[in-house]
Amino acid sequence: MNRFLARGLLTVLALGASSAALGQGVSFNPASLDFGVLPPKTKKQLTIQVTAPAGAACTLTKPPRFVVTPDTFTGAASPVTLTVEFDNSALIQQEQVVSSVGFVEVKCGKASGKFNVKGSLEPSAPRPIVELTQKGQPDGQVSFTVEGDPQNPKPFCGEAGGGGGAFGSTGSVSFACGDKLHIGSVAKFEIKNSTRFLKFSGGTGSAATCNGITAKICSFTVGSSGGRIVAEYKPPDPLFRVRLKRDGDGAGTVEGTNVADNKRVVLLTANDKSQTGSVPATSAIKVKLKASPSSGSSFLGYEVIKPSGINCQRKSDECTFDLNPATLEYEIEVKFKKGSSAKGSN
């Protein structure tokens, strides 16, 4: 018996894999296959010779990630050659070393035997990520979709609200679909239910193709560097700010309303020293102040701190004035005193 066949038989017997008599067993040369460590996207084939009882129909079972051909054969007087391939097609983008170890079992009638197979992959480069940053005053939602992912297809990955709080203090969000993306997948950002969106800009990496797009959808094929993109929205609307300050030893309330719709702009209650209200400064607004002294107090009048040019009559408990977009800050002092002295007295 040659030394290779003897070694194969000893290996099979050591594994306890053959229950047949020694002369009717299944043996292998070599006794095991080691594919070593393969780079990503690399496949490797090795061959092994099988000696089996002549005329016996042989079948085999194998562990995952190994392909053996032929998978059925008939035992013959001379050894049969099998081709074994370590199939890493599903592992191309793994970020860690992936190993596969197991046995291929060959059964030929009542005889059987096993040979060992093992192989592993080198880690690939870290998989890319994509990130969207919001600029301006975002509204609506941002959805992120991955299409055509070659390794992990998922039709929908996530959605986040457009408010600053939803994205943290930096106004950015990174979508990962449960993991980092694969090169060659198509990433799509879509801005939904937004009235303030302007355009995509500032794109880097594979997202640079979205720069300048004013439509609410930005799609790009993910490259090795991933992609980062900015969603620009209209800047925050300027605000008129109206501040009321209390003066004197009396008490009372002052309410400021928008004359056009009678909505409240600012309210100074009897317990407030000062109070500030705001309203969008998209156009000129006419505001009416109405002072109401508390029981036992008298209203003395208004004094405009800023800006100059507002005429609030000191003897009237009502004052109406325009908020002009050229001036955003307004401050008016309101005077109450104890007692029932006539309006307008100092």
Query: How much is the pLDDT for 163?
Result: 40
CATH of the domain at 147: 2.60.40
Query: How much is the pLDDT for 11?
Result: 32
- Whether 156 and 137 share a structural domain: yes
- Whether 37 and 77 share a structural domain: yes
- Whether 134 and 224 share a structural domain: yes
Query: How much is the pLDDT for 236?
Result: 84
Q: Is 54 helix (H, G, I), strand (E, B) or coil?
A: coil
pLDDT at 66 > cutoff 70: yes
Closest C-alpha among 234, 205, 229 to residue 217: 229
Q: What gap in Å lies between CA 47 and CA 33, rounded to an integer?
A: 8
Q: What gap in Å lies between CA 108 and CA 53, rounded to an integer?
A: 7
Question: Which residues on neighbouring strands pair with residue 253, listed in sequence order?
Answer: 292
Q: Domain end: 211, 233, 255, which one?
A: 233
- Whether 171 and 69 share a structural domain: no
Quote the mean pLDDT of the chain. 80
Question: Which residues on neighbouring strands pair with residue 49, listed in sequence order?
Answer: 29, 81
Question: Does the residue 218 lie in any domain?
Answer: yes
Question: Does the residue 172 lie in any domain?
Answer: yes
SS (H, E, C) 296-346: CEEEEEEEEEECCCCCCCCCCCEEEEEECCCCCEEEEEEEEEECCCCCCCC
pLDDT at 6 > cutoff 50: no
Q: What gap in Å lies between CA 7 and CA 29, rounded to an integer?
A: 8
Q: Domain end: 99, 121, 143, which one?
A: 121
Q: Domain end: 121, 154, 186, which one?
A: 121
Amino acid letter, 345: S
Residue 72: CB atoms within 10 Å: 9
Q: What is the pLDDT of residues 291-346, one digit of tens each?
A: 999 999 999 999 999 998 888 766 678 999 999 888 999 999 999 999 875 444 43
- Whether 7 and 112 share a structural domain: yes
Lowest mean pLDDT among 20-29, 226-235, 292-301: 20-29
- Whether 173 and 152 share a structural domain: yes
- Whether 266 and 251 share a structural domain: yes
- Whether 226 and 157 share a structural domain: yes
CATH of the domain at 254: 2.60.40.10
Question: Does the residue 344 lie in any domain?
Answer: no
Tokens standing for residue 276: 């500030």
- Whether 74 and 153 share a structural domain: no
Number of structural domains (the chain) is 3
The pLDDT > 90 percentage for the chain reads 47
Question: Does the residue 285 lie in any domain?
Answer: yes
Question: Does the residue 41 lie in any domain?
Answer: yes
- Whether 166 and 214 share a structural domain: yes
Query: How much is the pLDDT for 98?
Result: 67
Q: How confident is the model at residue 173 (pLDDT cuts 50, 70, 90)?
A: low
DSSP 148: S
- Whether 15 and 49 share a structural domain: yes
Q: What gap in Å lies between CA 120 and CA 40, rounded to an integer?
A: 10
Q: Residue for token digits 């309210």? A: 267
Its domain, for residue 215, covers 130-233
Residue 264: CB atoms within 10 Å: 11
Tokens standing for residue 128: 């890319």
Prior bond of 155 cis (ω within 30°): no
DSSP 12: H
pLDDT at 91 > cutoff 70: no
Question: Does the residue 346 lie in any domain?
Answer: no
Prior bond of 123 cis (ω within 30°): no
Query: How much is the pLDDT for 10?
Result: 28
Question: Does the residue 244 lie in any domain?
Answer: yes
Query: How much is the pLDDT for 22?
Result: 36
Query: How much is the pLDDT for 160?
Result: 58
Q: What is the pLDDT of residues 247-257, one digit of tens each?
A: 999 999 999 99
- Whether 226 and 260 share a structural domain: no
Question: Does the residue 345 lie in any domain?
Answer: no
Q: How confident is the model at residue 149 (pLDDT cuts 50, 70, 90)?
A: low
Q: Is 204 helix (H, G, I), strand (E, B) or coil?
A: strand
